[in-house]
Structure 1
Amino acid sequence: MPQGVKAVIAKSFERIHRSNLVGMGIIPLCFKAGEDADTLQLTGHERYTIDLPNNINEIRPGQDVTVKTDSGKSFTCTARFDTEVELAYFNHGGILPYVIRQLAAQK
């Protein structure tokens, strides 16, 4: 993953940007309506823990997840995996590892 980024939290995503994040194995998360970094008093310097199931089969498109900061704040975001295919890409670490594994399995 680029620079150790595992997730991006935003108010919204353009479809292509959200899809590109998933394609790189990065979790796109959206703040809930009426919330953002300012209302939650987030500085961007926090470390975040995302309560996402370890078993990929337990993750559903549009699922709400709890995000906790190292400063003790907790809030809910929506995981913006919009399709089962996107979940498969994420499970493989992105679209490139997914495609390579599919090609390797065909040999």
Structure 2
Amino acid sequence: MVAIDLLISMLDRMLDTISQAQQGANYVSTTEFETWRKQVDSVKTELARRSTKMAGEVQNTYRVIQQTQFLESTLKNTMSPQMTASLRFGRGLSSQGLR
């Protein structure tokens, strides 16, 4: 997402610079510039679409993580004391490198 946002920002800056330079340049035809500008706009539109899609995917992933955390918390709270002690013992062995 960051890369796409950075790319869109750089394209905007380049377009502004080119627009300013094109006003004083007689060697570039207006039709060629407009054709090029339309192509760049179509690329920007596609990048914006992909950015929106990627943001949705990140949001879905975040939602799954939140639901998983909720389920883990619920399971932890409903476990019997023996299961909790067994889980702690297992984690303790794992942290010491024992299996």
* TM-score bracket for the superposition, by shorter chain length: under 0.3
State the TM-score, normalized to the length of structure 1: 0.23
Question: Higher helix proportion, which one?
Answer: 2
Q: Which has the higher relative contact order, 1 or 2, with Cα contacts under 8 A spaced 6 or more apart? A: 2
User: When the two structures are superposed, what TM-score results if normalisation uses the length of structure 2?
Assistant: 0.24
Structure ID, larger Rg:
2
Relative to its length, the structure with more strand (as a share) is 1
